A and B are shown apart, each in its own frame.
Chain A
């Protein structure tokens, strides 16, 4: 099974291998800098377990776990 951003350990940098998904949401995720080959660190999750906060290209971004599951990582 491929590993996605949803499963990675907090605080450990990972490399993106593929961004799945469709249409505007996928485009938005990529517009925000999550593209093939970039490095992402998941920092924490919200008090209720979702969404998550991550560092990408030097800034903090928050996405839901359901969207994180679209991002494959090494």
Chain B
């Protein structure tokens, strides 16, 4: 802009040299002013999130870490107890059973959800299936239903004395299955319910990924005589791998935190057999007011979640390289 004001650029070299000299500092100043000018606006724009981030994220994270070394009960003083909470936690059998139950639940629900959501997504994308508009709405319906209501729906179907499933089983000549009083069967019902409810959102992610696979790949493969399965395995799966990675990661993190579904289906029962980690934390922290101890358990859960995320990220990186 400044150069165009001085049309002397084409003039003798002495003039040219003189030209840029006064321009440079002006440009620098302009640039600096430009940067300075834009501190106020972005600060205002992020202010709400910044305030909330400090209040509801940094503050509880810091106090939580501090409380985990005390025997704070929510009122009065918070006596320092060192690593006692963590030591007790690692010696608590109930904690281990909650941890193992959480891992079993995750190992059950994640693969099932992935298979179901990828399967439904493929059906919704393929040209072969008919009636996709209706199917899409039905598949997506469970996303709208809260975990509590999903729990109620499945509890209603799998009721031991009154449920439809046991009714059908006895009608077919079988004997009633103890869906509620057997801990493993009860966990199975929760896994089915969670996979049923978790399909919709992941399906949406898979549908978006499947639509982005270039059709030319499939056409080329067809010309080479590849079958449907070969195409799916060698073209589709590698092409959607980034989405699969996200879906797996989110599903694992989500299922490690499940509570509402268990609360509604069997209240983490029978007894405390199906108490997962979050329910364990909730019971300790809020029903027994052991805030310090619950904070320690929270940080162990956080550590596990972080390990899961880091392991997954590094595995993904190794696969890519």
Q: Do A and B come from one complex?
A: no
B positions within 8 Å CB-CB of A: none
A positions within 8 Å CB-CB of B: none
